[in-house]
Structure 1
């Protein structure tokens, strides 16, 4: 990217202070820093990896579809480095100028290999005080990443893997117990990866509140998907109904492209637009990402949970962290069809799932379970 009028960010000291406060990826060493391994995704939900799958020192890092390439698996060991194939993400010649090549190199402990994941989802090299960036702001396959002045654009927004020590209160064993018959698409690793986009999810308040929120979210999405079985809406006759041509952006993916998908069954062109804008992913033009990429799919569910008041007066997240109760999450998600006696059987199904999940997590369910 080469715009000359990009604004620089805060001074390095302020940045380090901010990141230390949020604690997403700190430059700590020793056993207290838990390792995390997984994909790093950027624009269009694509992954970064070594160009051509090469692992030699000096290999450029680029963006391409998440294909399971071994070099698309990155480890964040907690010491500030980002590693794959036994090498580190490195700035060529320890450069600090805009356009500096980002490459694989033997890990050497230098400032050229230190990265901080900020609360704004930037990957920042603190020595240069600049961000990991997609050249030209492009999401095309094989777009090379580079160092560039931080500017807040989607080309600098990343989702990084989080570790089992990241604070998520549901273990993989508990997740499997909750959804024994789930579709393999709904992976635990995809959910954990998605949480990095919304670290406040199941990360706010006491241990009890965090477990209650996790149980509430999973109970609702389990209900929406038949126990995490269905990835897409089953009634195909509804598919053409979710295009609102009154929106200025229209329906570029087609009249029938915005049907329900994912754990929250995201539907309507305006919801795909809003979710994509929030996540830095073009879901308006490529809604199929929600049914093809587990991490993107989970992110759309968390986007709704954390940001939308839906048919209620508060987000699902706020309902749980303020002790308004599980019933308010039902009202937010489907209150106009289920609450106030409209469909008590559906409400009871959600409550039953929530009670079962809180029992699995060993936490009280709280009050105000119904709407």
Structure 2
């Protein structure tokens, strides 16, 4: 609402209540409060804020050690600190009857959502879009319209909703992807906030045939197979990069003509399928039009890039198998062949049956979420 409309509304309300209204005297524009100072050792995920050089900055995605103002990961939120709040002068009412306060429709007077504030399950907030949301899970101030696993829309005045099991859709969702955001959140209830649904759907344009070839059943089976293997590689989309840092120097094949320009220890496993080795970063970067050989860190900084590297492997690489995982699913070779293409040398043919079964269990669960059958040839 414009300032003139706000002033007019307040003046009308004051007149109705028998008040004398005087326009506010503004001495200076108020500046925002400063967020906690930026620290190079601190990990910031998408939406987190920090102050630096007299400004607030908001992280677009996961970042650590990238200085606000000098890295594209940060969005300038404007100056902070300083400034003098506006002063307002009003006269006291001449009547002994106090003015009444009208609550929003439905009797709601819930506090406004605050970014970075800790919320617990059951908390209700009013978001910046004017709508109300209820915390479905504890969270450190995630946005209700982005982190939909943590928040549900709330009709003001209603009793908090109870969880229900939804019926799988009978047609492809409007996004064009066979997995809805709600289904994605159901598959990965403890996922790292870095692995966003939007990052995945943005990455799909790089490989339009993925989960979009054949019948609806085949499309859903391929999506479930991809996400089941991703689930296994990342511990349920929890880990962004390889845990064992002692392995990091091993992934540089110096015999390659281009070497390891990002450093001996820069090509460790990252992303949904844990892309590793300098030659894989180069091949994936060349295919995607991104210089991942010189900047492999993009895979742990940009969700869409991370998902694209996983889709690159899925759609173009045979690995230790005989076909790409994409070809295995669309040509009815079964989920077992996708395992062989990803880690067959270590797991298949009796190599590690427990790991194979873990992947199969996730695949069966995800096909059930998507309302389809797993098909044949599940093991390798």
Normalization by structure 1: what TM-score?
0.57
Alignment correspondent of 1:237: 246
- Provide the C-alpha distance between the structure 2 equivalents of 1:368 and 1:65, rounded to a whole number of angstroms: 45
Alignment-derived partner of residue 272 in structure 1:
281
Q: What is the Cα deviation at residue 369 of structure 1? A: 0.1
SS in 1 for 2:186: helix
Is the radius of gyration larger for structure 1 or structure 2? Answer: 2
Residue of structure 2 equivalent to 1:228: 237
Q: What's the counterpart of residue 301 of structure 2?
A: 292
**CA shift digits 1:100-156 (9 cap, x unpaired):** xxxxxxxxxxxxxxxxxxxxxxxxxxxxxxxxxxxxxxxxxxxxxxxxxxxxxxxxx
Mapping of residues 311-330 of structure 1, within 5 Å: 311-330=320-339
State the secondary structure of the residue aligned to 1:359: helix
Q: CA deviation at 1:204?
A: 0.5
1:156 is matched with which residue? Answer: none
- CA positional deviation for 1:167: 1.9
Question: 2-side partners of 1:265 and 1:215: how far apart?
Answer: 18
Q: What is the deviation of 1:213?
A: 0.2
- List gaps (5 residues or longer) in structure 2: 1-70, 78-171
In structure 2, what is the equivalent of residue 255 of structure 1? 264
Q: Distance in 1 between matches of 2:238 and 2:335?
A: 23
Q: CA deviation at 1:165?
A: 2.6
Unaligned runs of 5+ in 1: 1-63, 71-162
Match of 1:57 in 2: none
- Taking structure 2 as the reference length, what is the TM-score of the superposition? 0.56
Q: Does the Cα contact within 8 Å between 2:242 and 2:270 map onto a contact in 1?
A: yes
The residue that corresponds to 1:358 in the other structure is 367
Segments ≥4 residues shifted beyond 6 Å: none
Residue 198 of structure 2 corresponds to 189
Match of 1:171 in 2: 180
Q: Indicate the SS of the match to 2:254.
A: coil
CA deviations on 1:59-93 (whole Å, 9 max, x unpaired) are xxxxx8354579xxxxxxxxxxxxxxxxxxxxxxx
Alignment of 1:148-159 (within 5 A): none
Contact 2:199 2:304 in 1 (8 A): yes
- The alpha-carbon distance between structure 1 residues 213 and 254, as it changes in their structure 2 partners (threshold 3 A), is same
Once the 2 structures are TM-superposed, how far is the Cα of residue 166 of structure 1 from its aligned partner? 4.2
Residues in 1 aligned to 2:76 and 2:173: alpha-carbon distance in whole angstroms: 22
The CA RMSD over aligned residues, in Å, is 1.6
- The separation in 1 between residues aligned to 2:328 and 2:186, in whole angstroms, is 25
C-alpha distance after superposition, 1:265-307 (max 9, x if no partner)? 0000000000000000000000000001000000000000000
Where relative contact order (Cα < 8 A, 6+ residues apart) is larger, the structure is 1
Find the aligned partners of 1:278 and 1:226 in 2 and give their Cα distance.
27
1:315 Cα offset (Å): 0.4
Q: Which residue is 2:9 aligned to? A: none
Distance 1:192 1:68, change over 3 A: farther
Q: CA deviation at 1:212?
A: 0.1
Q: How does 1:74-223 map to 2 (within 5 A)?
A: 165-223=174-232
Aligned length: 216
SS in 2 for 1:222: helix
